[in-house]
A = this chain, B = another copy of it.
Amino acid sequence: MKNIEMVICGLGGVGREFIHLLTERQTEIETKYKLRLRLTAAVDIGGAAINTTEIGLDCDALLSHIKGGLSIETFGKFGRPGLSGVDVIAESGAKVMIETTPTNLVDGGVAKGHVFTALENGMEVVSANKGPFVLFYDEVHNLAAKNNCGLHISAATAAALPTLDVGRICLAGTRLISVEGILNGTTNYILSEMCIKGTSYDEALNKAQEMGIAETNPSYDVEGKDTANKIVLICNRLFGTSKTLNDINIKGISKISLNDINEAKKAGKVIKLIGIAKKNGEQINLSVGPKFLNEDHPLSKVCGSEKAITYDTDTMGKITVMGGKSSQVGAAAALLKDLINAFV
């Protein structure tokens, strides 16, 4: 049995679901994977709760506390008002830092400090947050390599849809030619509605917003930025590159009309928003934009808010993975998966 002490930063929906999975699955994780996962610190905006004894924090009690609207720093005798994530991580002596604060794509936000401090202290990093990886990939990657730490970012790269695992494990020993993905559920939902039901872009967007699939300000999704962030990370992890958002030509779907959709249909094609990383000699080319796919393309049949990714390899041919729950539980499950695989 390995003892794994963890610090979690961020106690929003994904963080809470992750803590719930920890407590719900403790026995089966110990039995199946021989891992004793112990949460020794939890951090949010106002401070932290810490218990570095063998018992760790009581996850059930902690969840009741924060779900009751109380702040983490008032969690009984373990509460530490004002203590920052960086301080907690540096002092924790934990083996893993779980990062679930909201993604900040301007300067990385607090997550930047969390990730760098964890790596400086030799910890494994498991993150649902894209910010520090998209913005500072090279620095993060080099620091992790120098200190022999693993970076585990499944939850930041399509979460319950396995992308990096498949590329690294299932395709080991192949030569990867390209990765193409429908990596954003909102845009795929809108394009599917337009294609299948003949609704306009605006109608489809409104419906997506009503259903909670699209944000009130949908630009991050519909302008292709979310897809771009994911394909940059997938490219860097699978092709060993150091790409940034500056290396990618990004087009969204907000200018796609019903006419475009119908023209595509007439030509036997379907329009999908695709993120692509493709080998071209020694270069890897990146792009995000609406593509006209033939009906025999494996991504052409992926409809609704479903996501999918197609790998093209020399020896195994094309392999496509689709599905995976798009929810906070799905993201939390991706964190747990990475955590288990980091130590098994």
Contact = CB atoms under 8 A, between A and B. Distances in A.
Interface of A: 21, 25, 28-29, 33, 160-162, 165-166, 169-175, 298, 301, 310, 313, 315-325, 329-330, 332-334, 336-337, 339-341, 344
Given A166-B170, A333-B174, A340-B173, A323 B315 contact: no
Contacts of A336: 172-173, 315
Contact of A315 (B175, B317, B318, B329): B329
B317 A323 contact: yes
Contact of A323 (B33, B169, B319): B319
23 contacts: A21-B173, A25-B173, A29-B173, A33-B173, A160-B315, A160-B316, A165-B165, A165-B169, A165-B170, A166-B166, A166-B321, A169-B169, A169-B337, A172-B344, A173-B336, A174-B337, A298-B322, A310-B323, A313-B333, A315-B330, A317-B330, A318-B323, A320-B321
A173 B333 contact: yes
Nearest to A339: B173
Nearest to A319: B323
Pairs A-B, 7 closest by C-beta atoms: A317-B325, A162-B170, A315-B333, A160-B316, A173-B336, A172-B340, A319-B323
Given A166-B162, A169-B341, A344-B172, A319 B316 contact: no
A318 B326 CA distance: 11
Contacts of A320: 321-323
Given A317-B323, A330-B316, A173 B298 contact: no
A169 to B, nearest CB: 5
A322 B336 CA distance: 25
Contacts of A310: 323
A330 B314 CA distance: 9
B316 A333 contact: yes
Contact of A322 (B315, B319, B332): B319
